[in-house]
Amino acid sequence: MKIKWIGHSGFIIDDLMIDPWLKKYEAMGLDAPYKLKEEDKDIKIIVITHAHEDHFLGAWDFAKEKNIVVAGTPETVGPAMAQGINVEMMNIGGLVQTQGWKVNLVHAFHTGNPTGAIMKKDGLVIYHAGDTGLFSDMKMIGEIFKPDVAILPIGGRFTMDEEQAAIAAKWIGAKTIIPMHYNTFPMVVADPKKFKELVEKTTDSKVIILEVGEETNI
């Protein structure tokens, strides 16, 4: 399955998109980290982990244009529903099956009604941690869902840093780890190579570092 990093916390995973930042963040004067290409637009579902703009800017317009289902908590995706977008409301502990995917929301520790997401398709289990600090229930997430891939923030300040994310990787136990939420703006500068070294020194997991717009096949 193709996993493509579209910058910050945004990924395209087959025909699912999670936490896209697709237009300029006016409040911070920041351009979107990636501009979608035609090859990226065959999306059937968008998952939003929480209600911070750097995780959904432009998503409502894109969903409306392409008639895409948007999934997340009521607080996060309620504004999309108010615009007439097809919404799958859910919450932590629940399961939604739509567009060929099974999606569970799990805990995250942050602000903005935070969640992580477990996404399952074709026998592959992917855990996107959302914005979060380190918390011990990541062990439970690993035990219950047994993710093949874990996508973890490493940028510090607003989330885990490289050292804390390496601990999370050990607790979760996924074979493949992909870092996110770093080097988008000066407050979240991190070294993915340091993260890779820490994880691969202390676990059997493999870290894949993607450039923005780069993809890998799992």
In a domain, 217, yes or no: no
pLDDT of residue 28 exceeding 90 = no
pLDDT of residue 126 exceeding 90 = yes
Sheet holding 176-180, edge to edge: 95-98, 101-107, 115-121, 124-128, 149-153, 176-180, 206-207
> By residue range, what is the domain housing residue 58?
2-210
How far is 6 from 75, CA to CA, in rounded Å?
Answer: 24
In a domain, 174, yes or no: yes
pLDDT of residue 127 exceeding 90 = yes
The mean per-residue pLDDT over the stretch 117-137 comes to 98
How far is 54 from 20, CA to CA, in rounded Å?
Answer: 8
pLDDT for 139-192, tens place per residue?
Answer: 999 999 999 999 999 999 999 999 999 999 999 999 999 999 999 999 999 999
In a domain, 118, yes or no: yes
In a domain, 165, yes or no: yes
In a domain, 218, yes or no: no
In a domain, 13, yes or no: yes
Q: How far, rounded to the nearest angstrom, does the alpha carbon of residue 205 sit from its chain's CA centroid?
A: 19
In a domain, 216, yes or no: no
Q: Given pLDDT bands bounded at 50, 70 and 90, which one contains residue 193?
A: very high
- Give yes or no for a contact between 68 and 44, defined as CB atoms under 8 angstroms apart: yes
The mean per-residue pLDDT over the stretch 39-67 comes to 96
For the chain, the domain total comes to 1
In a domain, 115, yes or no: yes
pLDDT given for residue 53 in this prediction: 93
Please give the share of the chain, as a percent, with pLDDT higher than 70. 100
Average pLDDT score, the chain: 97
Q: Are strands 69-72 and 115-121 parallel, antiparallel or unpaired?
A: unpaired
pLDDT of residue 27 exceeding 90 = no
What CATH number does the domain containing 37 carry?
A: 3.60.15.10
pTM exceeding 0.85? yes
Burial class of 39 by CB neighbour count within 10 A (0 to 12, 13 to 18, 19+): exposed
